[in-house]
């Protein structure tokens, strides 16, 4: 990286598009918003690879093989002698090598440049190894970011992280202009239908089977309702078990005679298609099974576009749907989901009130606003780091002069 002006150089460590990964999308969305922000060159990426050859764009300046420890050490050395002002580590246990991603430890221990870590997962019952990794990475960082207010306390009480280091920043949401709900329904051939939707990679933890089962009772009162399940099977799930989960869901649709009321869209949606699917929806659903899920990018998108949401009460949903911004159904309970859906479909006034409340929060989550918050933190931490270096140099120089060296 050659610095041609006084702008700051930021590098992100994590997965990168076109790898199909939520963190890669998160990183790209954040980087794209830095173009209009003064004081920064366009951020770059060091990509973590998983034995695949991806056609990266020029923003990827270096690659690390996930399972090769020497790659991490070599990259730390590279960064130490580069003109990178700040590194941003996207942390998720599964994308780094070693047990629970422990290859990250020698990497951060060798770094001489300041780094910020964004924790995408904060477990309430981590293993000893997981706790150690997060504690050490946080200790050596200059700032820790979490995307759920409920996890701030966990980072201090469970992981032993200094509370003064922790910042809460919402998961960002892209700002995409679309046609109205009515026009999008007409465009996609769903005029005069009530649309429920879920989007994202399919995996058994998504609980889609309970949403499908709930539709049995819903269609009896609202035969025009349609549950659209957008998304491919998660790449890791597909590699390990193929399309077993998707086939299970399709078999349920056939068993319950819901072919007119459940639709699968088996593709990785573009950003525009994701937003159009949300705007078109009357209800957005996340019937997830994991109670401790602290952050959900898909739910963040739903909130960002003011959708009325029906969800199971995992941690992020409880936080985001507080103050009557949605309805919570019981885990693994199709009857409970059905009751929530019917309550909304039978009460348009309630839906409108919930949408208004949700959109009020959603407007604060647009990537353009979130990026400004990150930029301010980046600048602050770079300036503090530079001041510390200058102070150390001055002290060293004064000592040498005193000793007559």
Q: What is the pLDDT of residue 381?
A: 95
Closest CA to 171 of 145, 141, 207, 142: 145
The whole-angstrom separation of Cα 204 and Cα 392 is 53
Structural domain includes residue 291: yes
Q: What is the pLDDT of residue 327?
A: 98
Strands 225-230 and 262-265: parallel
Which is higher by pLDDT, 145 or 404?
145
Convert the pLDDT of each residue in 134-155 to its tens digit: 999 999 999 999 999 999 999 9
Structural domain includes residue 2: no
Answer whether residue 359 shows pLDDT above 90: yes
Q: Six-digit token pair at 348?
A: 């348009």
Structural domain includes residue 402: no
Q: Do residue 26 and residue 43 come from a single domain?
A: yes
Q: Six-digit token pair at 28?
A: 């790209």
Structural domain includes residue 72: yes
Q: Do residue 138 and residue 190 come from a single domain?
A: no
Q: Do residue 216 and residue 89 come from a single domain?
A: no
The whole-angstrom separation of Cα 359 and Cα 287 is 21
Q: What is the pLDDT of residue 401?
A: 53
Q: Do residue 126 and residue 20 come from a single domain?
A: yes
For residue 269, the enclosing domain spans 181-364
Helix (H/G/I), strand (E/B), else coil: 131: helix
Answer whether residue 394 shows pLDDT above 60: no
Average pLDDT, the chain: 93
CATH code for the domain of 194 = 3.40.50.2000
Closest CA to 317 of 289, 357, 339, 336: 289
**What proportion of the chain, given as a percentage, has pLDDT over 70?**
94
Convert the pLDDT of each residue in 98-109 to its tens digit: 999 999 999 999
Q: Do residue 75 and residue 128 come from a single domain?
A: yes
The whole-angstrom separation of Cα 24 and Cα 199 is 17
Q: Do residue 325 and residue 202 come from a single domain?
A: yes
Count Cα neighbours of 97 within 13 Å in the Cβ-side half-sphere. Answer: 17
Answer whether residue 186 shows pLDDT above 90: yes
Answer whether residue 330 shows pLDDT above 50: yes
Structural domain includes residue 405: no
Convert the pLDDT of each residue in 40-67 to its tens digit: 999 999 999 998 889 999 999 999 999 9
CB 103 within 8 A of CB 96: yes
Q: Do residue 153 and residue 31 come from a single domain?
A: yes
Helix (H/G/I), strand (E/B), else coil: 36: coil
Q: Do residue 26 and residue 149 come from a single domain?
A: yes
What letter would DSSP give residue 202?
B
Q: What is the pLDDT of residue 405?
A: 53
Convert the pLDDT of each residue in 161-182 to its tens digit: 999 999 999 999 999 999 999 9
Total number of domains in the chain:
2
Q: Do residue 220 and residue 162 come from a single domain?
A: no
Structural domain includes residue 354: yes
CB 27 within 8 A of CB 95: no
Q: How confident is the model at residue 1 (pLDDT cuts 50, 70, 90)?
A: very low
Mean pLDDT of 372-400: 75
Largest CA distance in the chain: 91
Which is higher by pLDDT, 225 or 294?
225
User: What is the rounded end-to-end Cα distance, in angstroms, of the chain?
Assistant: 36
Helix (H/G/I), strand (E/B), else coil: 216: helix
Q: Do residue 279 and residue 335 come from a single domain?
A: yes
Q: Do residue 97 and residue 225 come from a single domain?
A: no
Structural domain includes residue 1: no
Convert the pLDDT of each residue in 233-288 to its tens digit: 999 899 999 999 999 999 999 999 999 999 999 998 999 999 999 999 999 999 99
The whole-angstrom separation of Cα 41 and Cα 373 is 17
Q: Do residue 370 and residue 358 come from a single domain?
A: no
């Amino acid at each position: 990286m050659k610095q041609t002006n006084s702008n700051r150089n930021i590098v992100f460590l994590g997965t990168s598009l076109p790898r199909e990964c939520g963190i890669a999308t998160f990183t790209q969305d954040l980087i794209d918003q830095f173009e209009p922000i003064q004081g920064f060159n366009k951020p770059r990426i060091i990509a973590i690879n998983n034995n695949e050859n991806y056609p990266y764009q020029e923003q990827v300046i270096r690659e690390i093989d996930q399972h090769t420890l020497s790659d991490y050490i070599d990259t730390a050395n590279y960064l130490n002698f580069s003109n990178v002002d700040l590194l941003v580590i996207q942390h998720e246990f599964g994308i780094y090598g070693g047990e629970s991603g422990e290859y990250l430890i020698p990497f951060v221990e060798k770094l001489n440049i300041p780094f910020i870590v964004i924790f995408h997962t904060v477990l309430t019952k981590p293993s000893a190894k997981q706790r150690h990794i997060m504690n050490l990475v946080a200790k050596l960082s200059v700032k820790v970011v979490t995307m759920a207010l409920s996890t701030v306390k966990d980072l201090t009480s469970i992981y032993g992280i200094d509370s003064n280091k922790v910042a809460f920043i919402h998961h960002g949401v892209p700002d995409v202009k679309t046609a109205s709900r009515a026009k999008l329904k007409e465009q996609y051939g769903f005029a005069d239908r009530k649309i429920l939707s879920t989007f994202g990679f399919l995996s058994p933890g998504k609980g889609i089977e309970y949403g499908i089962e709930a539709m049995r009772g819903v269609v009896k009162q609202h035969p025009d309702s349609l549950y659209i399940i957008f998304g491919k099977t998660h790449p890791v799930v597909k590699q390990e078990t193929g399309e077993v989960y998707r086939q299970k869901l399709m078999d349920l649709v056939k068993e319950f005679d819901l072919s007119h009321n459940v639709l699968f869209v088996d593709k990785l949606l573009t950003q525009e298609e994701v937003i159009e699917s949300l705007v078109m929806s009357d209800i957005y659903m996340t019937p997830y099974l994991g109670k401790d899920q602290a952050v959900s990018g898909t739910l963040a998108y739903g909130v960002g576009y003011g959708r009325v949401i029906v969800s199971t009460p995992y941690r992020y949903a409880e936080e985001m749907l507080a103050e009557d911004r949605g309805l919570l159904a019981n885990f693994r309970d199709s009857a409970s989901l059905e009751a929530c859906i019917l309550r909304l479909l039978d009460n348009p006034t309630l839906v409108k009130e919930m949408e208004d409340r949700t959109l009020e929060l959603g407007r604060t989550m647009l990537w353009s606003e979130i990026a400004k918050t990150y930029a301010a933190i980046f600048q602050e931490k770079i300036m503090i780091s530079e001041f510390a270096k200058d102070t150390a140099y001055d002290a060293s120089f004064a000592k040498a002069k005193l000793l007559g060296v």
